[in-house]
Amino acid sequence: MAETKLSLKLLIDKKAKKVLFAEAGKEFVDFLFYLLSLPAGTIISLLKSDNMVGCIGNLYDSLENLNEAYLQPNEHKNLLLKPYTPVVVPLLLPDTSKDREEKQLYGCSNHPYIYVTDHRNNSCPQCKHPMSNKVTFVSSNSHKQGSASEGGVVKGLATYMVKDDLSVTPMSMISGISLLNNCNVKDFSALEERMVEFSIDELITCCTKV
């Protein structure tokens, strides 16, 4: 299986010898935001009251402040900002959701709409009858329509600005000009666009060193 490669467009100030920002697509931003689905998301949400700073804090704030219009219809920020259980990180691990066997649920024949269990023949809490009637769990994912089918966290129609502190914002001409002003860029002839490619392993290494 070929190694997955991601690409970024960098805007470089050759005079200052620094990368001003990267222009990234959906796949890269999805990867960054899904890092929050790891236990770090819960840790960050608890530490924010203590004015936690740093790149991971900026990444958390980026998703928290991202307008809902940029999110997939079936996505909720709290799944990443306040995760209950880790989710599969795209590109890091294979997506086994389609191959994963659905857990079978069972109900009581006397009270079929009140209690369910994932262990066949558990006793019904109300009548103590074995719960052996198969019932079907209908996931909200079964109602995905339209653009939601592309998966991930953000929509693929937009591009995003990623700065060296891992803050992420939707890309626009205004945000680009504002950043150039903040970086005190005067000589536009010193700016250079450069496309770079890197592997997932290289990306993980960079993120852990930020």
For residue 147, being part of any structural domain is answered with no
Tokens of 183: 């970086």
Same domain as 85, residue 10: yes
Domain encompassing residue 110: 105-135
**Exposed, middle or buried by CB within 10 Å (0-12, 13-18, 19+), for 36?**
buried
Same domain as 128, residue 175: no
For residue 142, being part of any structural domain is answered with no
Contact by Cβ (8 Å): 155, 73: no
Q: What SS3 state is found at 134? A: strand
**What span, in angstroms and rounded, lies between the C-alpha atoms of 42 and 127?**
40
For residue 97, being part of any structural domain is answered with no
- Each residue's pLDDT, cut to its tens digit, for the chain (210 residues) gives 456 778 899 999 999 999 999 999 998 898 888 777 766 666 666 566 555 556 777 888 898 899 988 988 767 787 777 765 545 555 554 444 444 446 788 999 888 778 888 888 889 998 999 999 988 877 655 555 444 456 788 888 899 999 988 899 999 999 988 999 998 888 889 999 999 998 776 776 666 555
What's the pTM value of the predicted model, to 2 decimals? 0.57
For residue 157, being part of any structural domain is answered with yes
Same domain as 59, residue 88: yes
Number of domains, the chain:
2
Tokens of 123: 């006793």
Same domain as 186, residue 125: no
